[in-house]
Amino acid sequence: MTKQGSSQAGNNLDPWYHHYAERAGGLRASEVRALFAVASRPEVVSLAGGMPYVAALPQDLVINAMESVMRKQGATAMQYGSGQGVPVLREQILEVMALEGIKAHADDVVVTTGSQHALELVSKLFLNPGDVVLSEGPSYVTALVIFRSYQADVEHVPMDDYGLIPEALREHIARLKAAGRNIKFLYTIPSFHNPAGVTLTWERRLEILEICRDNNILVLEDNPYGLLYFDRPAPDAMRSVERDGVVYLGTFSKTLAPGFRVGWALAPHAIREKLVLANEAAVLSPSSFTQLIISEYLSTADWKGQINTFRGVYHERKNAMIAALDEYLPELTWTNPNGGFYVWVTLPEQLDSKAMLPRAVKELVAYTPGTAFFSDGEGRQNMRLSFCYPTPENIRVGIRRLATVIRGELDLLDTFAGTGSLDSHRDNRRFGAPPPDIS
C-alpha cells in the first residue's frame, strides 16, 4: 500500500480517522450506556439505567399476542411494511394519546423504531450545523447526543420544581435572536422529566406554547412517562391544545416493553410527510412483526390495567427510594416525582458526582452523574437515581452504600481541605449550580 502523508493518515487506532464526516465527531459514548456493563454485574445495585421492570408484564399476554399474529397474519408480519407504520396500530395509538387529551388523525401518526428514532428523524430534518436547540437544563442524555451529532448547539433553559421557567425561556430566546442565532426547536420532556423527575404545570405549558408561537419556534414534546403517574395524572399533553406547532413523541417502551422498539411521532401534516420519507430512507419500514404484536396486545389485553400495574410497582419503588434518602442522606436535597422513573439529587458543592462514580462502583452501587444531562459540563453537583428496576429492598441497600461513599468523600475532603462535614450543606440547589447568566 502506498504510504500516505500525515494529512491523510489516521490515528494509531483508526486508519480511517480522517475520512469521517465532520458530524461523526459529535458521536460520543453516553455515560448512561457506559454504565450498563458495570451495572449488570449481579453484586452491583444499579440506580443508574432507566430500564423498565418488564417482569411486571405477564408473559402470557405477550406470548398469546405473538402466537395469534403468527397464526393469523404470519406472512404479513414477516414482510416489509409501510414507511408510515401499520394502519391499525396507528389508529390504536390515537386511543393511547387520548388519555392525555390529544385528538388527532391516524394519517398524522408515523410509527418509528422507538421514540428515540423519531427524535433522530426530526433532528435530521431540521438541524444544520450551528443551529440552536433549546432544552431544559438538565435534559435527556441521548437527545443531547443526537443534537450534537448534527452539530447543533444546545442552550439549556433553567427549570425548577414546576418545570421549565417561562421567563427564562423568553430571555434566552431574546438573547439568541439578538446574537443572530437560528433557533430550530424547543425540546422538552414536560411530564415526569428525565432526569429531574418534575412535571411542567398546566399554566406553564400554555405560557411556553404562547412564547414559542410568538417566536415561530417548533416544540418537540417528548412524552415517554406521561401515563406512569402515581397519585394523580400529569396535565394534558401540550399537543392537546396546539396542533400546528408541536411534534409529539410517544413510545411503548415504558408502558409495555422496550424490546419491541416501537414508538411514534404525531406531527403537523407537512412535517409528517417528510418524516415518512426520512423513515423510509433510514429503515425502509419499521418492523411489521413487532407492530402487529403490539396491535394484537392492545386489541385483546387489558392494557390500561397493565399500565396501572406498572404505576403501582414504580410508586412503591419511588417511595422506597425517598424513604432511604430520608434515612441515610437527610442533609441532601432531591426531587420527589409523582410519576416516571427518576429522582434528581443535589450534592454538597465540593463533591463531583462524575469523579466519585468509580468509588461508588467499588462500593457496589451505580448512579448516573449529572454531567451526562448537560451539554456544557454542568451537573457535577448532581446525580440521577433510577428507582424503576431494583426491588425496594435493593434500593434501600443501594442508598445505604451511596451514603457510605458520599460521607467518605466528605470526610476525606474535610481531612485535607477543611471543607466541613455533610451537616453544613443543607441549602443546596436542587438543580445544581446557579442558573447561567441570561441577562
pLDDT given for residue 35 in this prediction: 60
One digit per residue, pLDDT tens: the chain, 439 residues? Answer: 444 444 445 556 888 888 888 877 766 666 656 565 665 678 899 999 889 999 999 888 889 999 999 999 889 989 999 999 999 999 999 999 999 999 999 999 999 999 999 999 999 999 999 999 999 999 999 999 999 999 999 999 999 999 999 999 999 999 999 999 999 999 999 999 999 999 999 999 999 999 999 999 999 999 999 999 999 999 999 999 999 999 999 999 999 999 999 999 999 999 999 999 999 999 999 999 999 999 999 999 999 999 999 999 999 999 999 999 999 999 999 999 999 999 999 999 999 999 999 999 999 999 999 999 999 989 999 999 999 999 999 999 999 999 999 999 998 888 876 655 555 444 444 554 443 333 2
Residues 6+ away with beta carbon under 8 Å from 68: 296, 300
Q: What angle do CA 340, 354, 357 make, to 5 degrees?
A: 85
Q: How far apart are CA 232 and CA 134, in angstroms?
A: 29
Classify 59-300 by CATH class: alpha beta
Reported pTM: 0.90
Q: How far apart are CA 153 and CA 16, in angstroms?
A: 26
Domain ranges of the chain: 28-56+306-424, 59-300
Q: How far apart are CA 144 and CA 154, in angstroms?
A: 7
pLDDT given for residue 12 in this prediction: 60
Q: What angle do CA 81, 84, 88 make, to 5 degrees?
A: 75
| Structural fold of domain 28-56+306-424 | Aspartate Aminotransferase, domain 1 (3.90.1150)
pLDDT given for residue 6 in this prediction: 43
